[in-house]
Structure 1
Amino acid sequence: MSATTNSTDVWIVVDPVQDYEQSLKILGVYGSRRAAEIAMPRLWRKLGLWRNGGDDGHLEIQRWRGDTLVSSREVEVR
């Protein structure tokens, strides 16, 4: 299904692929960028996604319209 002017925008929080052995993990789907940003620290802690022995890492917010990726933004989570 192609994106149209009437397609709904969604924001998806993902744990991006870090190496060839991993796959992208969808952590949540939200109706606005702000809601996705607010949820990120909670998702990070809840899922225990600690990398390199520390509490810092990166998650990504992807904006989709229909089946088209509109934008992607990496966010550092602490």
Structure 2
Amino acid sequence: MLDLRHNRLGDEGFRHICDALKHPDTIARSSLSALVMWNNGITSASMDCLAHALKNNPKLETLNIGKNALSVD
């Protein structure tokens, strides 16, 4: 588990995490099964990047993105 709650990463920082999650080396070598991004100032602008990361990383079983500024436009 990687717990990054309360780190003020924002969208830019979260996109870096997503990019790392979808990198082929990460997918092949990682045993990461849970990611906690609670209260990091993430907005819906990062959801496309997240979708690609989740699509390519089947090992990640739990994602907590609560207490972020997500909305449906």
Normalising by structure 2, we get a TM-score of: 0.27
Q: Which structure carries more helix by proportion?
A: 2
- Who wins on radius of gyration, i.e. which is larger? 1
Which structure carries more relative contact order (alpha carbon 8 Å, separation 6+)? 2
